[in-house]
Structure 1
Amino acid sequence: MPPLLPRPALLLPRRGITAPATLSRRTSLFSTSAARPSTPQRIPPESPLFINVPNPPQDQSIEALRELKPVKGHLPIPRQVFKHRDSHLKPEKAWLSKSAPRPTSAKSQQPPRSEVQAWKRRMAASRRENMRVGIRALYKRKQLRDTRRAAAQAAKLAAHQEAAAAPEREDDRLTRATINAATLQTAVIRDPERFERALASRERTTALLAQKSERRRDAIQELYMKARSFIVDEADLEAEVNKIFAPDYWKSMGLSASGFEVRNIWDLHGKPPTVTDILNEVSRTSSTAVKSFEAEKTRTLKRQKEVAEELTGGKLDEESDKD
């Protein structure tokens, strides 16, 4: 193990003692702190040593704090001797006699046979006495500490209550910002028409539920009316496929409205209108004009369809109209 070097703090000379040149040179070599300047020109203006003022005895300034030796290590955490609920019984004589009982054997009642045995008995008695004195002193200290803590807490609580109940100071009242009186009224005023609004809302909700129920009933009735044309087995599917994909399917439709032979769906219903045609038609005519140019047969069919739907309670498709 290499030899330990002396600490730099031990190499500094005390006040009033002149160190030799060798010690000063060693101090400059091993010291970790900056040496105090010898001339005032090296001291910056922000330093407390910029103005040379003699230090009085028992000074608590920076110079006095520099001479204090650092305290090494740390204090251990004290043990809570009176931690449990029955800890107040520890200062009692019964607890002390039970914790450190006196010897009761026949050998201990006899006089000591040697100086060592007498010394051991004295040490045992001293330990029992130290424990008794220490426990009682610690308990008195705990009682004093609890009393002081309770007094401090009571004083703090009384000060807080007094500050909370104290009237407003005059400077606070004079410097307080002006607040509109209506702003301070934060109470929520109940709507006087709340019952009428609730009844109107109930009526609207009932009407909406009735509309939904009517639409659902119409949808079920329409599904029931269209169920007769559903394909439910493979035979019906094969028959429908053979019918639609037959080579003479369009010829079986007969003639179109213009009298020509039907060869595709465009010949039967005409070409689909473009977006431009639809916009021009909407901008040129209205719904009233369309109804005025509608054929009498078409209007009769529509009226019959509406009557049939009202009687059956469901929607009818185009095949039902033709039937």
Structure 2
Amino acid sequence: MEFGPHLMLASLEGAVIASILVLTAMGLSIVFGVMRVVNVAHGEFFMLGAVLAWYVSTALGGHPAIGFAVALIVAPLAVGLVAAVSDQLILKRINYDPDRTIVGTIGMLFIIQQTTLMTFGPEARPVEAPFNQRLALPWFEFSEGGLQMIWPWGLSITSYKLFVIFAALTVLVALWLFLTRTKIGLIMRATQQDSETAKAFGVPVGTVYSCVFGLGAALAALGAVLVVPIQQAHYLMGADPLLMAFTVVIIGGLGSLPGTVIAAFLIGMSDGIISVFFSPTLAQIIATFLVAMILVFRPQGLMGKAET
């Protein structure tokens, strides 16, 4: 294949990475934006979603689409419930103190990780994709006869990867509508703006915090359910998503949802393209360099607001 088709294929792979990354980072950004909590256990909620997806799909059996569809609903809800309970039992009791919440979420990280190791085991286990047809992709180029459509050998993508991109876009739209068009979303945004004033107007801030913490974890788990047919479930798989999510949130701006979307797209696309043409290591180096430059020249991030 020539450079153009290679770039198209790399861009599609980058879009898949960005789709998973934006869901994971969005959960982290919402938690920090509303609660001002740095959730170090966010990657383990991602991992827990993948493991639960394996359990559900294995328990149901039958056609892979049945287990996957159930896992898309059950895993995020279950992980969100675990996170909400963890908030009530741990974070609420330490009054969401910034330093102690970091220690508390580190404790959550080890509890979830070691519990998964004891129950799930150390092996990486696959989840079969509900559908995985290979789709050939056309390419357009100019020749002596004008614009022509060709079908380069090897230029293809699976139907499931296209579904991941579509599913992430759908979830983002639904999340935006939820935050801007519903009463619960209005309460969450009011709590984000001024929790003390919201409490004075009768808003149950503690309950809102638990729901937000659960929502952030559920988004991470949803991303994991989508990605687990592409990469296997493993009890140590939470580290990379956590690191990449923090990278996205720092670049986009802490608590800025539009910034998170933009940064996830930039990091995901660059990761996919650079990994195809060069190496995944170079993509990680460039992402780290971007974080350093953002922290030096624009500490509030691309879309974050500077503190006054």
Q: Give the TM-score, by structure 1 length.
A: 0.17
Relative to total residues, which structure has the larger helix share, 1 or 2? Answer: 2
- Give the greater-gyration-radius structure (CA): 1
State the TM-score, normalized to the length of structure 2: 0.17
With CA pairs under 8 Å and 6+ residues apart, which has the higher RCO, 1 or 2? 2
